Chain A
Amino acid sequence: MLHSLDRRRLLGGSLALGAASFALPRMVFARAAGDRNLLLVVLRGAADGLAMLAPLGDPAYEQVRGFGLPDYESAPKAGGFFAIHPAFQQVAAAYAENQALFVHATATAYRERSHFDGQNLLETGGTKPYAQRDGWLNRLVGMMPVDGSGAAPKALAIAPTVPLALRGEAPVSSYAPSSLPQASDAFMERVSLLYAEDAQLGQLWQRALETREMAGGDNLRNLRDARAAGELAASLMRERGGARIGMIELSGWDSHANQRNAFNRQAGQLDALLGAYRAAMGPAWASTLVLAVTEFGRTVRYNGTGGTDHGTAGAALAMGGALRGGRVIADWPGLKDGELYEGRDLRPTIALESVLAGASAEHFGLDPEHTMARLFPDRRAPAMTGFVAG
């Protein structure tokens, strides 16, 4: 284990890079920005960033997280200072191929500890819970270039109803496997006729039919099989006429007790989903970006029941064929008592909104500052760039 790295050396070295170095206005004009894909994975329940990407190089880590330390004995290292949780096998493989990166000590503008409000801000992009009604991902859909054929970009939630992040003016679809019996073709044809002259229902119905068509012979009953869910997401996005923007939710990260088991299980699910998605995207992976984010981090210390409570900063994960991966982006705040936020949480040093806006803008060839202003209004932090290979 590394104990010798202090924050100063870390920032000066190439192991992890400070936020400032990514703030340079650096536009990427992708040749076929209209054919690029973005998958947003929302980890509901506050995934523990310190378990996801353990800062083993921080001398205080052993002291605050000694209980979970054995988990990382043979874990893949990220930049020498961090270790990737061993359940992230596929993610670590992508990291080794420079197709995955982590952002650590990151948080949205939210500084309280309610899941509901935290998720509301993560999804709406507002600065106050419930103040903004539409989602930032929907606003991004509205900014996207049209594809080669001139059609409006499709956006899709892998869920029965549209989650807040995707709600808004831009048309979006939703799809999730259900255990309801399939409607007969004859009935569906009649419904199409019935809705033909109804603007709202006609459009919803058309989008539902298209999405069902794209899902094809999916015989999943629900989204609990993470590998199958990843394959399903890919099958809806990889084709030319598929969805350019996708969103999928993975809940169950609220680990107040017995966290080591719970996190291992959840991380294994996420890993299976992302690995299956990557494999199933095939050639389209080269133009795909995945962002996995959560509403906030968890307390640095374990509580009395082997879990962690609601905290502040956490980690985010990006994956993609065009990513400049294989690195950790962090301005590491440290884990010593005096370095913690309110004496208990990892201190946020990178605005998650800057990461989301910057990475999305670069990926789709949009202006980062304009994208930041549109998706996350009223922020001081500029969009962070440098995620995508030019």
Chain B
Amino acid sequence: MPATIRDAPQRDIAGPASHDRAQQENRKTSMATSQPHIALNRFGYGLRRGESPPDDARRALLRQLDAYDPRPAALAARADTSGEAGELLQLIRSQRRQRQDYLKRMERETEAAMAGPGMADPGMSRSRRQAGRDALPPELRRAFVAGFDVFREDVQLRTDIAVASETPMVERLVHFWSNHFSVSVGKAGTAHQVGNHEFGAIRPHVLGRFSDMLKAAVLHPAMLLYLDQFQSIGPSSRFMMRRRKSARGPRGLNENLAREVLELHTLGVGGGYSQTDVAELARALTGWTIPGLPRTERFAEPQPGGAAFVAVAHEPGDRSVLGRTYRDGGARQALDILDDLAAHPSTARFIATKLARHFAGDDPPQGLVRRLEQDFLATEGDLASLVRALIDAPESWATGPVKYRAPFEWLVSVLRLTGVEGLGARRTVGVLKEIGQVPWQAPSPAGYDDRAGSWAGPDALFRRVELAERIARNVPAGDVAARAEAAFPGTLSETTRTWLDRAESGTQALGLLLVSPEMMRR
């Protein structure tokens, strides 16, 4: 609640002497960041319209840890779609088959027609494709479209929650972890699941244990679909033994998820794993799949989070990963390996580096990385403790901007500052697409890149300027100078102040504030 942010004593506003000096030197052209500014902008999503900046920056952040709501009302109203993974996938597959059959039939008919007298119609192929779509049964078409509506509404929901949030630092952490365990709507069947992945597998664990988040995120239907795990089958499983006779059907092991777990979710590249470890983890993961697939449905045992385990598809036997042996225990085998990966020193180093890079700059201070790493190891991956260590670290409060804001972060900050509500799902996705970062649509399983080079592009900047002017025209634009001082407490540069003052109108001033250097960086 905002009230709890305000009642702290004014202790942290004036930093150490060196901080003041730097602040004076930087005053004219660049941000000399005050602690309330850092709490709002480096750690959070900026000031919300009508809110006052915190007096005690650190305390304001620490309070967010207690005030965080993993399941706000807006989320509670969302329909549970975790069980629908297989259904949508089946739908897409059957749609594909029907379209192909239809196109083949049309092709044969056209060829037959063309063999006789008459002329080929060059415009035919386009209309045939359209006809191929139209030939689908209406319920199939509706369900297919509905899948993407769920995705768009989830993007809207995520944005709304962040815009309204009184614990924006924790929302930033949710989005950080969601990107760490990136899933993408680009893969067939994932439309219902990518939002649900963040809401169901990330949010509840963001201040909990890393091992719990790891297991939930990796074994969620969205991830099982995205990284092909749902169709990975043990080569010596009972399922494969029976299928040998028929040529068609599943072929066996898929290593995609296992590789990414080691490379992207736990140890990191160079974290000390081999191809053998990848293959062994892949074998241990067999059996973990999604419900609703006709071939395996009757064997599927439901798992928490919406996944299913199919014991007959699980590769039997002990597995050896990073020199440790894991006895065959069905679904348990993969969970045990994930628990150990979560506690591995390489994981601690990898997570510490990424977190430090996110909050303290592209080339994170090594002292901060080491401290986070030690905290991670000492607490066995207690993520709340890790956040406290981050808040305690002097490196987190370094003066001057440390990071260029990524597009989603910039947009949420703009919406909070201007008080724009409910753009509508289609427009929200459209705008995020124009500025280059739609949630759950990262181009690779590594997630969206967290370095300035990915975002600080000329055209990308131009788009923010275009959008800023458009937004400023559509909201009340009074008192911009005071709002600027509040949004960037003790930090607004003389240059920005000057050009806000000289703006031709309040609308223009607000537009300029939205693209000011203070707004672009944190």
Contacts and interface: CB of A to CB of B under 8 A. Distances in A.
A161 B454 CA distance: 7
Contact of B457 (A180, A182, A204, A305): A204
A180 B434 contact: yes
A306 B460 contact: no
A179 B434 contact: yes
A200 B403 CA distance: 12
Interface stretch (B150-158, B322-330, B333-341, B443-451): B443-451
B470 interface: yes
Given A167-B453, A181-B470, A198-B29, A174 B504 contact: no
Contacts of A187: 465, 469, 508, 511-512
Contacts of B404: 200
Contacts of A196: 495
A304 interface: yes
Interface stretch (B279-287, B312-320, B390-398, B514-522): B514-522
B481 interface: no
Contacts, number: 127
Contacts of B496: 194
A127 B141 CA distance: 43
B495 A174 contact: no
A35 B465 CA distance: 33
Contact of B29 (A157, A175, A197): A197
Interface residues of A, number: 52
Contacts of A186: 504, 508
B299 interface: no
A198 B458 contact: no
A183 B457 contact: no
Given A179-B434, A180-B434, A160 B459 contact: yes
Nearest to B437: A161
A174 B457 contact: yes
A134 B443 CA distance: 17
Interface string A10-52: 0000000000000000000000000000000000000000000
Given A174-B460, A184-B469, A194 B520 contact: no
Nearest to B495: A197
Nearest to A182: B466
A311 to B, nearest CB: 16
Interface of B, secondary structure class, is helix
Interface string B482-522: 00000000000001100100011000100110011100100
B336 to A, nearest CB: 27
Contact of B517 (A134, A190, A195): A195
A190 B503 contact: yes
B103 interface: yes
Contacts of A188: 465
B455 A183 contact: no
Nearest to A198: B517
Given A178-B434, A187-B469, A161 B459 contact: yes
A305 B30 CA distance: 58
A208 B465 CA distance: 11
A211 B515 contact: no
Contacts of B469: 181, 183-184, 187
A208 B103 contact: no
Nearest to B126: A265
Contacts of B113: none
Task: Name which of A160, A173, A184 has the most chain B CB atoms within 10 A of its CB.
Answer: A160
Contact of A161 (B96, B100, B436): B436
A306 B103 CA distance: 12
A233 B458 CA distance: 16
Contacts of B453: 134, 162, 167-168
A63 interface: no
B467 interface: yes
A304 B454 CA distance: 39
Interface in A135-189: 157, 159-162, 167-168, 173-176, 178-184, 186-188
Contacts of A161: 436, 454-455, 457, 459-460
Given A182-B466, A208-B462, A212-B462, A190 B512 contact: yes
Contacts of B444: 116, 120
A207 interface: yes
B456 A205 contact: no
Contacts of B263: 130
A379 B496 CA distance: 50
Interface string B23-65: 0000011100000000000000000000000000000000000
B303 interface: no
A183 B465 contact: yes
Contact of A131 (B248, B269, B463, B465): B269
A173 B459 contact: yes
A167 B454 contact: yes
B256 interface: yes
Given A180-B466, A180-B467, A194 B459 contact: no
Given A161-B454, A188-B465, A305-B100, A194 B508 contact: no
Closest CB pairs A-B (n = 3): A208-B458, A116-B444, A174-B459
Interface of B: 28-30, 96, 100, 103, 125, 248, 256, 263, 269, 404, 430, 434-436, 443-446, 451, 453-463, 465-467, 469-470, 495-496, 499, 503-504, 508, 511-512, 515-517, 520
27 contacts: A116-B446, A131-B269, A133-B451, A160-B460, A161-B457, A173-B457, A173-B458, A174-B459, A174-B460, A178-B463, A178-B466, A179-B434, A180-B463, A180-B466, A183-B466, A187-B512, A190-B504, A191-B465, A193-B499, A194-B517, A197-B29, A200-B404, A201-B520, A205-B458, A205-B461, A208-B459, A209-B462
Interface of A: 114, 116, 120, 128, 130-131, 133-134, 157, 159-162, 167-168, 173-176, 178-184, 186-188, 190-191, 193-198, 200-201, 204-205, 207-209, 211-212, 257-258, 261, 304-306
Given A190-B508, A190-B512, 6 more contacts: A160-B457, A161-B436, A161-B455, A173-B458, A191-B465, A191-B515
